[in-house]
Structure formats: C-alpha cells, structure tokens
C-alpha cells in the first residue's frame, strides 16, 4: 500500500489518494527538519510572530475553502468545522503575541542575593514529532504545532489517515504566510509505520488520540527519555443542579453532547441531574434533541453531520445495542439514520454493566442518571478512570463550589466545553488516564523548550570566602539560615 484513499464519510465518495511516507522518507523529513530548525531557532521571535499573524489572517480569509476540506473528509457539520477555524485563529494570535514574553530570559531569585545573579533561559528542543487524530483535523494537527514553532522548534506531523487533507491544506497556508521550508512537514501514513517512526526519531513527542495508543507511545518516549505530552480520551460528566436555569441547561447540553456528532474528546457522555429538576430537564433536553437537524452538506443550519466511518458507525451502534439488551431505555435516537449517520441518542436506566456506562463511545450517545444530592452527583462524576472535562449547570456560586470538587483538567460552568477551551491563558488537558502535560497557557509553549539556568557568581564562592575557616563558615551559615527562614522563600 503506497497511498491512503481518502473517502468522504457523508457520501462514500473517494476524494483523494495521498502518498504514504516510507520509514526512510520519515528519516529524511527529520534530517531536513533538524537542518531547518537551526536557522529557525536563530530567527527573531518578532519575525516568527509576523508569520503566525499572517497565518491567522489567512485562516480567516480562506475559511470557506478550509471549511469545505474539513467537512468533506470528516463528514462534520459546518458549525463544528467552524469551531476549528476559530481555534486556529485564537491559538495563532495567542502564541504569536505571547511568545516573546515567555521566551525572554527571566531573573530568578538566588539563594545568595547580591552574590549570585540567576537567569532562566528557554531554548527550543529541536524537531518535535506530532501525531494527531481525525476528529478535529485542523485544531489537533496545527494548534500545538503553532506553539512549538513559535518556541523555535520545527515539526514533523503525522495526521490521521482518515483526514490528511486538512493538515496538508494548513501546511500550504503556513507556507503562504511565510514559514520557511521544512519548519512544518506533514508525513501521512499509518500509525504502525509513520507514527512509530516519528516516535522513534523526534526530540519531543506530542500525541493526541486514544488512551490505548497514548500508553504505547509513552513507553517509547520513556525508553528514549524524550519529553512527551498526550491529550487522550474522556468520559465527561455534566451535572444539573437544582438552582440551574433549566431551559438554558437543556439547550446548552445539546452542543455539549452532540458537537461533531459527539466525536470530541471533551464532549459529554454522562448527565447527572438532581431529582428536583430531573423531569423538567429531561423533557426539555429530549425535546431539543428531537429537534436537531442532522444531515450532509455545508448548510450552517445543520446541527450534526455523519460519523467518521462505517467502522465507527458500527462501534457506536454496538454500544447502544449492548445498553438496550441490558435494560437501558432509549429516550430518543438509538438507531442509524442511514449511511454513516447515527441519530443523536439519549439513554436512561443504564446499568453499570453496560459498556456505555464507563467506556468512551466517542459518538452521539449520552445517558441521564437522576441523583438525590449534589454530593452524589460529584461522586458519580468522579467515578471514572478519565478526567478530561466536565460541565456544571448551576448558579455561578454553586457551580464554582462544585467545580473545585471535580477531578478533571477543565470544568465549565454553564457551558459544555468551549468556555474553558477558548481560555487560552489557562491550561487544557487531562487528569488520570486522560493525558500527560497540558496544551494552551504558558505551559503549552514552554513544554516545547528546555530550560537553561544561568547563574553568575560574584565576589566569593557560594561556599563562603576562601580565607574563612570551614568550621567557622558552617557556624555562620547555620545562623544566617535561621534568620533567613521566614524572610527568604
Ligand atoms: P488513535 O489513538 O487510534 O489514533 C490517533 C493517531 O495515532 C492517529 O494518527 C493514528 O494513526 C496514530 N496511531 C495509532 N496507533 C499508533 C501507534 N501504534 N503508533 C503511532 N501512532 C499510532 O485515536 P483515534 O481513535 O483516531 O481518536 C479518538 C481518540 O482520541 C478518542 O479516545 C478521543 O477522546 C481522543 N482525543 C483526545 C483529544 C484530547 O485533546 N484530549 C482530542 C481528540 C481526540
């Protein structure tokens, strides 16, 4: 097999044949990447900033073109694809404008003030390897790359084989924005071949995908002792408190559960609703789900598109059939809509033995469970091996108090996921088996750097004046330390 056949999931039509990289070609890509990185790292941050800001503009100016490519190869609705445009623009703006401050050497407090002056520098790591999934082919291929590139690294990216065209299109736009050759390279191919070769050759590995693959790649990174960051799966809970605006919660839960047909790592698959408001919430939520518009095409009015493939459609269907066979009730959906389209589905009375109860479906399937107290809701929400995202619908004060008890990287109060995702100054990532490291925030760029501490010593060594008797110095140091313990950090 030397080509990936890219198929439109919504229609089954073959869109393109994309050449697969051989292992030797990946090695060649890393050779070129390392050569390009030396020059790129030497370029002023202000120059990199201008390129990324031009990319920001191009993404917005050419959004229709990009939206068409994203939608065609992923099957998602226009509105879900548009989230990707916004994300790339926000990320490019954020890191373009933030990088200079982050990369500037910073003074660090020294243990011996006056005698020692310490600075921390951040140097790029080198050629960063990235492996991305199919569900957000623009966001997950490009946004972390933007941070790595602004920090002075080069990137070799393997996009998922379902969706290589978006990454290739974005690479064209980066070149058009002025990014020099080989700073960002796209090497399509299967995970077992190209993904593996990237993991074995890169200087830092950034992975987004399933927890199962994340574990395998973490083992390689561990063996090689390279930096590793992973954004993995989730089984995200949503809590509806009795003081919530129920109509708003029932509307907001639609996007929280069914954006991108639920094929979103941070989308909601479990709802815990307080008994006092359970009937009203369930009725209004299910009515809203029934009103959703599902179908193919680029009409902005459509709420949901298709699933990524026939195989994934089968997986989603199996989850629902298993739950039904074990006594779960289908409140709406629970069936295929033909082709790769699956109805947005709400279940209830799901027994803990059903696979959907704990496992990530990664599809348009959510279940509702009624709880008698908010303590029970928190306990249920945290009863998972995952810890990626959570959503709480409540008054802001109740929401904030509950949020602090949730074991997840992001908690959105009166929103599903977007509020935290778009908070670029704050970290985004998973607790427990949902990930290692964070994207967004200062850390999202600094993780692609090595820290170098430079300490300049003046007047005498840190171990005291050379003329001083060693025992005398030990006594002096003990006295000075006691005085300093409540003054110096
Ligand atoms: P996946 O792990 O099967 O594939 C992701 C990428 O890894 C693909 O490019 C694939 O080709 C590659 N890959 C697979 N096996 C590999 C191997 N052995 N070596 C190297 N590369 C390999 O994941 P998927 O099913 O495509 O994506 C869905 C999963 O990703 C879900 O679990 C979802 O929650 C998760 N996800 C997480 C985030 C996040 O930010 N936390 C975002 C999107 C998706």
The residue whose CA has the least distance to atom 12 of ligand 1 is: 191
The overall longest dimension of the chain from CA atoms, in Å, is 87
Catalytic residue among 265, 269, 284, 360: 265
CATH number where 280 lies = 3.40.309.10
Q: Which residues span the domain enclosing 300?
A: 236-426
Do residues 98 and 478 make contact, with C-beta atoms less than 8 angstroms apart? no
- Coil, helix or strand for 206? strand
Ligand 1, residue 211: give the atom nearest the CA: 32
Task: State if residue 265 touches ligand 1 by the CB under 6 angstroms criterion.
Answer: yes
Are 324 and 224 found together in one domain? no
Task: State if residue 84 touches ligand 1 by the CB under 6 angstroms criterion.
Answer: no
- In testing the pocket of ligand 1, which one of 209, 220, 223, 308 has its CB within 8 Å of the most ligand atoms? 209
> Does 202 participate in catalysis according to the annotation?
no
Ligand 1, residue 435: give the atom nearest the CA: 41
From its phi and psi, is residue 135 left (phi > 0), alpha (psi between -120 and 50) or beta? alpha
CATH number where 80 lies = 3.40.605.10
208 Cβ neighbours under 8 A, 6+ residues apart: 131, 132, 133, 140, 144, 230, 231, 232, 265
Do residues 122 and 451 make contact, with C-beta atoms less than 8 angstroms apart? yes
Residue 37 Cα, ligand 1 centroid: separation in angstroms? 27
Are 225 and 240 found together in one domain? no
Do residues 110 and 187 make contact, with C-beta atoms less than 8 angstroms apart? no
Are 133 and 207 found together in one domain? yes
Choose the final residue of a domain: 426, 458, 473. 426
Are 308 and 201 found together in one domain? no
Question: Is residue 147 within a helix (H) or strand (E), and if so which, with residue range?
Answer: helix 139-150
Are 164 and 278 found together in one domain? no
Are 252 and 226 found together in one domain? no
Catalytic residue among 231, 269, 284, 360: 231
Task: Report the number of distinct structural domains present in the chain.
Answer: 2
pLDDT at 330: 99
- In testing the pocket of ligand 1, which one of 210, 215, 359 has its CB within 8 Å of the most ligand atoms? 210
Task: State if residue 143 touches ligand 1 by the CB under 6 angstroms criterion.
Answer: no
Residue 460, in any domain of the structure: no
Residue 154, in any domain of the structure: yes
> Does 265 participate in catalysis according to the annotation?
yes
Task: State if residue 362 touches ligand 1 by the CB under 6 angstroms criterion.
Answer: yes
pLDDT at 81: 98
Residue 140 Cα, ligand 1 centroid: separation in angstroms? 10
Task: State if residue 131 touches ligand 1 by the CB under 6 angstroms criterion.
Answer: yes
Are 297 and 316 found together in one domain? yes
Task: State if residue 195 touches ligand 1 by the CB under 6 angstroms criterion.
Answer: yes
pLDDT at 1: 64
DSSP assignment, residue 309?
Answer: -
The whole model's pTM is what? 0.97
Residue 286 Cα, ligand 1 centroid: separation in angstroms? 31
pLDDT at 242: 98
Are 369 and 242 found together in one domain? yes
- Per-run averaged pLDDT (10 residues), the chain, 489 residues: 94 98 98 98 98 98 98 98 98 98 95 90 98 98 98 99 98 98 98 98 98 98 98 98 98 98 98 98 98 97 98 98 98 98 98 98 98 98 98 98 98 98 98 98 98 96 92 94 88
- Coil, helix or strand for 181? coil
In 160-307, alpha helices (H): 164-176, 196-201, 211-224, 246-258, 275-290
Residue 474 Cα, ligand 1 centroid: separation in angstroms? 56
Ligand 1, residue 434: give the atom nearest the CA: 41
Exposed (0-12), middle (13-18) or buried (19+): which is 60, by Cβ within 10 Å?
middle
Are 296 and 222 found together in one domain? no
Task: State if residue 77 touches ligand 1 by the CB under 6 angstroms criterion.
Answer: no
């Amino acid at each position: 097999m030397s080509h990936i056949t890219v198929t439109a999931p919504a229609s089954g039509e073959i869109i393109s044949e994309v050449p697969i990289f051989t292992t030797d070609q990946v090695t060649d890509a890393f050779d070129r990447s390392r050569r390009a990185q030396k020059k790129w790292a030497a370029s002023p941050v202000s120059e990199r900033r201008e390129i990324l800001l031009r990319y920001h503009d191009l993404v917005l100016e050419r959004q229709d073109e990009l939206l068409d490519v994203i939608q065609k190869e992923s099957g998602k609705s226009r509105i879900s694809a548009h989230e990707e445009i916004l994300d790339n623009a926000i990320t490019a703006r954020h890191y373009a404008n933030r990088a200079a401050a982050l990369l500037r050497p910073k003074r660090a407090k020294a243990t011996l003030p006056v005698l020692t002056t310490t600075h921390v520098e951040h140097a790029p790591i080198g050629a960063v390897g990235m492996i991305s999934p199919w569900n957000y082919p623009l966001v997950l291929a490009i946004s972390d790359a933007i941070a790595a590139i602004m920090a002075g690294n080069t990137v070799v990216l393997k996009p998922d084989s379902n969706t290589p065209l978006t990454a290739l299109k974005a690479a064209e736009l980066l070149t058009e924005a002025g990014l020099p050759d080989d700073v960002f390279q796209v090497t399509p191919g299967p995970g077992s071949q190209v993904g593996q070769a990237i993991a074995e050759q890169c200087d830092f590995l950034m992975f987004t995908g399933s927890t199962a693959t994340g574990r395998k790649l973490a083992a390689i990174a561990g063996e090689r002792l390279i930096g590793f960051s992973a954004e993995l799966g989730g089984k995200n809970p949503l809590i509806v408190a009795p003081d919530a605006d129920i109509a708003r919660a029932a509307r907001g839960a639609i996007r929280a559960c069914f954006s991108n047909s639920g094929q979103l790592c941070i989308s909601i698959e479990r709802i815990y609703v307080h008994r006092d408001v359970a009937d009203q919430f369930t009725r209004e939520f299910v009515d809203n789900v029934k009103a959703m518009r599902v179908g193919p095409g680029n009409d902005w009015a459509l709420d949901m598109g298709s699933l990524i493939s026939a195989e994934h459609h089968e997986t989603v269907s199996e989850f629902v059939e298993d739950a039904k066979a074990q006594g779960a009730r289908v409140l709406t959906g629970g069936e295929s809509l033909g082709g790769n389209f699956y109805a947005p589905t709400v279940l209830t009375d799901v027994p803990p033995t059903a696979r959907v109860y704990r496992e990530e479906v990664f599809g348009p399937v959510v279940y509702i469970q009624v709880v008698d107290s908010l303590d029970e809701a928190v306990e249920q929400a945290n009863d998972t091996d995952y810890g990626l995202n959570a959503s709480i619908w409540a008054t802001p004060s109740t929401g904030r108090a509950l949020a602090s008890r949730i074991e997840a990287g992001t908690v959105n109060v009166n929103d599903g996921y977007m509020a935290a995702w778009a908070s670029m100054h704050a970290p985004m990532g998973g607790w427990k088996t949902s990930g290692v490291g964070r994207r967004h925030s200062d850390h999202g760029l600094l993780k692609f750097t090595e820290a170098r501490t430079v300490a300049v010593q003046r007047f005498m060594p840190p171990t005291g004046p050379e003329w001083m008797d060693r025992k005398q110095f030990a006594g002096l140091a003990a006295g000075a330390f006691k005085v300093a313990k409540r003054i110096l950090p």
